[in-house]
């Protein structure tokens, strides 16, 4: 079997399954034994083992196999194991993750896990475990049974000229990882008929199962059936016998569920069975391409609409209005297909915080809220590193050591809360801790010592402005550099990354009580609503999330303070941003000018423009390196007349 085409799916699914194992181990360590969770971890590792066996990744298969043994022991003991056992399983998860990374990069794994497997075998052998299911249970199965609802399926197949036969597949005694071989056998059987049921279930088959039975509906000969399975490695004997109707009595709900699960498991492997899956996996690159195409269609539609307006063709305008509505719905569907829950990336953070806390000898309770909030997949991939930086800072700089917290009257265990919620169409993610908070005096002293500001300037600055020094490259108040932080790159990386995505970063902190970092992100990076304006006969776009309101500014109401123009709007004094000269024109002397009150990072200003055009949905296009370096523009878009309009980054002007 050519398994190379299944590698990507295997890697993605296994990574998801390892996150489940991580969650179970964390819960086991923090909350004690939970039978349902332990059973789930056992099933997940069992699946990883079977999938690795089918793909042919022997190192992962062998490690997962011994981990499965350990989980089987733990779930039968029904008690919290020693810390050394939990750490051993954590190490196993880490090793598999590293092997997946190697597999993804090189197409093979070369990590030596011999020593780890030996340690796990020693732990397994030294731990008394409850008796595992034996092969006797398999021997009790003589004739395969079906559900009453499957009876019609069998009868219809017989009416179409097919015959029901029972195929008994016996494994070689020395064969390991039998689930993978059973899957291959059922897949081969599907080429000569339809597998209606398998017992025991192919998806949950112990390694000591001597044989399993399959109900095959076929019109092929016994010789062809036997030949289809004989080539599978580890199959010692294939026997075909007539099958008589044997319907399971629905005596209990448990019996129904068990047989149904087995039957559906077999049907999933059948090439001719009907699929009931409600979801499919799609490569993210294909979704990116689809969104790009939708963006091009939107741009083209805007141009056609402009032509219809110029022609003043009534019927064409009405048709295009309907076309615009349909494209809006299509765009919405495409955008929603790219949305994933933040839990997709959040679920790896509990393990990270746990390891960081142990490395720092700190006790930390880590809470996650709003994990079901959805965000564009491309945004979520980008913010992962930024969130890791914030969590590292919270553990290393934020949460105090146990004795220090007790001395301050706090509980010994610190708390870090990672939250996600929606606010006015944006996704907001916060990282909050109840640690020591930001020392404004220490930050100011560091800024003065580095020559960033003078002592006199520091006196005139408010606390919020002083805290912004934290985001400068190389700025750190740490007394010592650790493996986790202290080099002054973390917060700079966070700010650069988030603002590069069109988002904002806010820092709130109270000395002695804790800190809170708030990341506000746009719902999508590709298609946004913007205000179109004209400056010096050129059109520009301003994202609506940065637009507070539009006004007309009388020139006599503009005053000069320290060579800077200001305008008083109601009770707020706003700086005037006159970008006409900046963009190669000259500001004409007029009685009043249209303006936009723009806002970013809680800073507001009055941006003077030549003309307000109106709101429009635009498709964001990335800029080249030279244009990005100007700092004035965050992107570009194509307007209805085919011309390019730059998207202003108002944060560069405020």
Q: Say whether 68 is catalytic.
A: yes
Q: 151: closest CA among 263, 254, 270?
A: 263
Query: Helices H, strands E: what count in the chain?
Result: 21, 22
Q: What residues are paired with 532 via a beta bridge?
A: 541, 614
For residue 180, what is the enclosing H or E element?
helix 178-189
| Residue 627, Cβ density class (10 Å: 0-12 exposed, 13-18 middle, ≥19 buried) | middle
393 included as an active-site residue:
yes
* Nearest CA-CA partner of 503 in 533, 537, 545: 545
For the beta sheet containing 547-554, the strands, ordered from the edge strand earlier in sequence to the opposite edge, are 547-554, 592-600, 603-608, 572-578, 564-569, 558-561
Closest residue by Cα to residue 349 from 386, 391, 383, 382: 391
In DSSP terms, 599 is beta-bridged to 604
Q: Could you tell me the sign of the dihedral formed by the alpha carbons of 169, 170, 172, 175, in that order?
A: positive
What distances in angstroms separate CA 130 from CA 73, 82, 140, 267, 529, one per listed residue? 7, 17, 21, 33, 62
Whether 46 is a known active-site residue: answer: yes
Distances (CA, A) of 314 to 302, 305, 311, 321: 16, 11, 9, 11
Q: Is 166 helix (H, G, I), strand (E, B) or coil?
A: strand
| Angle between the N-to-C axes of helices 178-189 and 35-55, in degrees from 0 to 180, rounded to the nearest 10 | 60
Give the C-alpha separation, 147 to 156, whole Å.
15
Of residues 215, 233, 211, the one with CA closest to residue 225: 215
Q: Which residues pair with 341 in a beta bridge?
A: 374
Using CA atoms, how far apart are residues 195 and 264, in angstroms rounded to an integer?
10
Q: How far is CA 97 from the centre of its chain?
A: 16
Catalytic residue among 22, 188, 214, 393: 393
* Alpha-carbon span 302 to 300, nearest angstrom: 5
Q: What is the token pair recorded at 516?
A: 């809170």
Query: What does the block give as tokens for 527?
Result: 């298609």
Q: Count CA within 13 A, CB hemisphere, residue 169.
A: 30
State the alpha helices, DSSP H only, in 312-376: 314-337, 343-346, 349-359
Q: How far is 376 from 521, CA to CA, in rounded Å?
A: 10
List the catalytic residue out of 22, 62, 65, 68: 68
CA distance 177 to 132: 16
* Sequence-ordered list of residues with C-beta below 8 angstroms from that of 173, at least 6 positions apart, any chain: 236
Q: Cα–Cα–Cα angle for 571, 575, 577, nearest 5°? A: 135
Backbone angles phi, psi at 530, to 5 degrees: -140, 160
Helix axes 83-106, 7-31, angle to 10 degrees: 160
Q: Which residues are catalytic?
A: 46, 68, 393
């Amino acid at each position: 079997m050519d398994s190379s085409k299944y590698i990507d799916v295997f890697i993605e699914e296994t990574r998801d399954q390892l996150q489940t194992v991580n969650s179970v181990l964390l819960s086991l360590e923090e909350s004690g034994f939970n039978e349902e969770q332990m059973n789930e971890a056992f099933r997940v590792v069992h699946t990883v083992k079977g999938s690795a066996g089918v793909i042919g990744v022997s190192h992962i298969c062998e490690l997962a196999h011994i981990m499965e043994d350990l989980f089987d022991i733990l779930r039968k003991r029904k008690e919290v194991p020693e810390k050394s056992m939990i750490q051993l399983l954590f190490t196993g998860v880490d090793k598999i993750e590293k092997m997946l990374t190697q597999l993804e990069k090189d197409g093979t794994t070369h990590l030596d896990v011999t020593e780890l497997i030996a340690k796990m075998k020693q732990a397994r052998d030294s731990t008394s475990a409850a008796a595992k299911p034996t092969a006797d249970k398999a021997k009790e199965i003589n004739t395969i049974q079906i559900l009453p609802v499957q009876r019609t399926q069998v009868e219809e197949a017989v009416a179409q000229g097919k015959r029901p036969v029972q195929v008994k597949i016996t494994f070689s005694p020395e064969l390991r990882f039998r689930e993978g071989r059973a899957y291959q056998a059922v897949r081969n059987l599907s080429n000569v008929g339809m597998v209606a049921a398998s017992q025991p279930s192919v998806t949950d088959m112990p390694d000591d199962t001597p044989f399993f039975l399959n109900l095959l509906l076929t019109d092929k000969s016994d010789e062809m059936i036997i030949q289809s399975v004989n080539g599978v490695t580890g199959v010692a004997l294939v026997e075909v016998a007539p099958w008589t109707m044997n319907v399971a009595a629905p005596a209990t709900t448990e019996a129904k569920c068990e047989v149904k699960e087995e039957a559906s498991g077999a049907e999933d492997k059948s090439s001719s069975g009907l699929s009931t899956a409600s979801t499919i996996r799609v490569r993210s690159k294909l979704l990116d391409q689809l969104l790009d195409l939708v963006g091009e269609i939107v741009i083209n539609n805007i141009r056609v609409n402009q032509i219809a307006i110029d022609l003043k063709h009534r019927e064409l305008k009405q048709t295009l209005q309907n076309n615009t509505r349909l494209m809006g719905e299509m765009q919405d569907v495409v955008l929603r297909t790219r949305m994933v829950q933040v839990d997709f990336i959040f679920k790896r953070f509990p393990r990270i915080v746990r390891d960081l806390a142990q490395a720092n000898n700190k006790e930390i309770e880590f809470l996650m809220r709003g994990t079901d909030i959805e965000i564009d997949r491309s945004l979520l991939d980008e913010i992962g590193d930024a969130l890791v930086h914030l969590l590292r800072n919270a553990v290393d700089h934020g949460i105090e050591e146990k004795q220090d917290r007790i001395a301050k009257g706090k509980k010994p265990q610190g708390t870090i809360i990672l939250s996600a919620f929606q606010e006015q169409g944006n996704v907001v993610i916060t990282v909050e801790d109840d640690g020591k908070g930001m020392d404004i005096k220490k930050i100011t002293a560091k800024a003065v010592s580095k020559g960033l500001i003078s002592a006199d300037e520091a006196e005139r600055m408010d606390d919020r402005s002083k805290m912004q020094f934290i985001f400068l490259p190389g700025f750190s108040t740490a007394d010592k550099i650790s493996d986790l932080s202290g080099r002054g790159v973390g917060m700079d990386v966070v700010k650069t990354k988030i603002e590069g995505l069109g988002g904002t970063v806010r820092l709130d902190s109270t000395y002695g009580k804790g800190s809170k970092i708030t990341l506000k992100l746009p719902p999508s990076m590709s298609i946004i609503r913007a205000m179109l304006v004209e400056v010096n006969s050129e059109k520009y776009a301003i994202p609506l999330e940065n637009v507070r309101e539009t006004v007309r500014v009388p020139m006599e109401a503009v005053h000069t303070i320290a060579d800077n123009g200001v305008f008083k709007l109601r009770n707020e004094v706003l700086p005037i941003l006159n970008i006409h000269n900046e963009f190669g024109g000259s500001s004409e002397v007029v009685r009043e000018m249209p303006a936009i009150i723009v806002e970013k990072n809680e800073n507001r200003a009055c941006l003077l423009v030549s003309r307000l055009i109106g709101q429009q949905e635009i498709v964001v296009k990335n800029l080249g390196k030279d244009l990005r370096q100007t700092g004035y523009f965050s992107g570009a878009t194509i307007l209805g007349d085919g011309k390019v309009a730059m998207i202003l980054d108002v944060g560069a002007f405020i």
